[in-house]
């Protein structure tokens, strides 16, 4: 430490001279730190800048505390091992937060993060009842990867992705199946994405009770090889009324939606402004949707009102979409504002099993609700 301080002092005194390589700093960069048990979260947060690899081995995060891995050194690796648990408190969370540049967050194959959400589940999600913590903030992550993470029983929303650029999420599992019992879990969105550029999500398995993916804003977002079950499908929106109301260049590719409220959804908020453009859903299959196969609405969440034209939806491609809905569900519903849905190209769209809507509004040229 003394040596390090003196080197810093020399460097500061002679700012024009490039400091010689510091062997101690190199060693520091290669340090693996392992944290575990009930002190693990506070020790990891306190020491995170001294470690190039942070191993979180069966950490028991205390109630009301975030496992704080924000502002990590560039290039830090975080590895979850064993079961990570979280104490109970009624609060907003997050339970885990990671930020930095060139960060890798990964896990041993048998590791899992156990939210034990049943302690909070009351059927009201984020709309009432107990205040529930969001699980995982992936905010302000640049050129980073989150992979091989298994989340069990989230209290409410799982991944909040905000202000990220060039972020890859690979092989993420969210298993909230237990929350289906008595409809107790709600608003357990898999990935909520906002104000981010370049987010790639591959091979996700999401078993939940709300959107598998929901994009409020952001650009260059790619979701492929996913399975989404029990929730609200692949959603854009709701768009409008926030600081950032632009969604651009989003692709959902080669994914399967099972037993969900709907498979494909774009919702823009009644009376607000913004833009949704360059949206592609390709090679999407779905079965047994309970409400809609495909739903596009420009009057969320005032569906008694006529849709408004302030948030446009343009360059919207559906290609090779095959799905079934339950017999009392609507196959396709579209409610556009006057002239605010343009340049839609739908090919090989085949939705069967339910009712054909006869009150679609302001359909763009070439599109019908009877595909
Ligand atoms: C659209 O996003 C993809 C990533 O999903 C990216 O590879 C591509 O370059 C983007 N296209 C444009 C025109 O920015």
pLDDT in tens, 261-285: 999 999 999 999 999 999 999 999 9
Report pLDDT for 297: 98
C-beta of 249 in contact with ligand 1 (< 6 A): yes
Protein residue closest via CA to atom 10 of ligand 1: 220
Q: Is residue 56 a contact partner of residue 39, using CB atoms and an 8 Å limit?
A: no
pLDDT (0 to 100) of residue 371: 84
Average pLDDT (89-114) is: 98
Residue identifier of the C-alpha nearest atom 8 of ligand 1: 220
pLDDT confidence of residue 7 = 39
Q: What is the CA(220)–ligand 1 centre distance, in A?
A: 5
> What is the token pair recorded at 213?
């993916």
- What mean pLDDT, rounded, does the chain reach? 94
> Is the pLDDT reported for residue 27 higher than 90?
no
Reply yes or no on whether the pLDDT at 21 is more than 70.
no
Query: Which whole number is the average pLDDT over 109-122?
Result: 98
Nearest CA to ligand 1 atom 13: 249
**pLDDT of the residue at 4:** 43
CA of 309 to the centre of ligand 1 (A): 26
CATH class of 211-371: mainly beta
139 is catalytic: no
Percent of the chain with pLDDT over 70: 92
Q: Is the CB of 320 under 6 A from ligand 1?
A: no
User: Which ligand 1 atom is the nearest neighbour of the CA of 249?
Assistant: 1
What tokens were used for 190? 């898999």
Cβ neighbours of residue 275 closer than 8 Å, sequence gap 6 or more: 239, 245, 246, 247, 248, 311, 312, 314
Is 253 a pocket residue for ligand 1 (Cβ < 6 Å)? no
pLDDT score recorded for residue 357 = 98
pLDDT tops 60 at residue 19: no
Residue nearest to atom 1 of ligand 1 (CA): 220
The torsion of the CA quartet 14, 18, 21, 25, rounded to 10 degrees, works out to 60
- Ligand 1 atom having least distance to the Cα of 198: 4
Quick one: CA torsion of 80, 84, 89, 95, rounded to 10 degrees?
A: 10
Which of 94, 85, 93, 53 is CA-nearest to residue 72?
53
Q: Which residues make beta-bridge pairs with 173?
A: 150, 205
User: Which residue's C-alpha comes closest to atom 2 of ligand 1?
Assistant: 220
pLDDT of residue 28: 52
295-303: average pLDDT: 95
What kind and span of H or E run contains 83?
strand 83-86
What phi and psi, each to the nearest 5 degrees, are found at residue 103? -95, 140
* pLDDT of residue 318 exceeding 70: yes
Is the CB of residue 251 below 6 angstroms from any atom belonging to ligand 1? Answer: yes
pLDDT at 30: 79
Whole-number percent of the chain with pLDDT over 90:
91
Catalytic member of 132, 232, 265, 267: 232
Please work out whether the CB of residue 222 comes within 6 Å of at least one atom of ligand 1.
yes
Burial 305-343 (b: 16+ CB within 10 A, else e): eebbbbbbbbebebeebebbbeeebbbbbbbbbeebbee
């Amino acid at each position: 430490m003394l040596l390090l301080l003196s080197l810093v002092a020399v460097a500061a005194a002679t700012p024009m001279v490039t400091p010689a390589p510091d062997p101690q700093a190199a060693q520091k960069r290669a340090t693996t730190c392992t944290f575990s048990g009930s002190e693990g979260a506070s020790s990891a947060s306190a020491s995170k800048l001294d470690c190039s690899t942070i191993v979180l081995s069966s950490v028991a995060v205390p109630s009301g505390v975030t496992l704080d891995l924000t502002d990590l050194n560039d290039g830090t690796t975080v590895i979850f091992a064993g079961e990570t648990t979280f104490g109970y408190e009624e609060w907003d969370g997050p339970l885990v937060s990671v930020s930095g540049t060139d960060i890798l967050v990964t896990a041993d194959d048998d590791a899992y993060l156990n939210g034990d959400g049943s302690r909070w589940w009351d059927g009201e999600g984020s709309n009432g009842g107990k205040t529930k913590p969001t699980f995982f903030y992936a905010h302000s992550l640049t050129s980073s990867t989150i992979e091989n993470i298994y989340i069990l029983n989230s209290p409410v929303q799982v991944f909040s992705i905000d202000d990220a650029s060039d972020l890859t999420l690979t092989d993420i599992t969210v298993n909230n199946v237990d929350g289906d019992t008595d409809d107790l879990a709600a608003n357990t969105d898999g990935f909520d994405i906002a104000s981010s550029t370049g987010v790639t999500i591959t091979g996700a398995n999401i078993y939940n009770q709300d959107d598998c993916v929901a994009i409020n804003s952001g650009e260059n977002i790619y979701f492929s090889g996913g399975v989404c079950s029990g929730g609200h499908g692949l959603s854009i929106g709701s768009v409008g009324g926030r600081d950032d109301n632009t969604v651009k260049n989003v692709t959902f590719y080669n994914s399967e939606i099972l037993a969900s409220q709907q498979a494909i959804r774009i919702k823009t908020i009644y009376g607000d402004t913004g833009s949704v453009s360059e949206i592609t859903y390709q090679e999407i299959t779905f079965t047994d949707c309970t409400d809609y196969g495909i739903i596009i609405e420009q009057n969320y969440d005032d569906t008694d009102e006529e849709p408004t034209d302030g948030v446009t939806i343009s360059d919207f491609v559906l290609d090779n979409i095959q799905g079934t809905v339950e017999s009392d569900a609507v196959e396709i519903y579209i409610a556009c504002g006057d002239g605010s849905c343009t340049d839609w190209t739908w090919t090989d769209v085949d939705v069967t099993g339910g009712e054909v809507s006869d009150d679609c509004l302001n359909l763009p040229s070439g599109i019908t609700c009877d595909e």
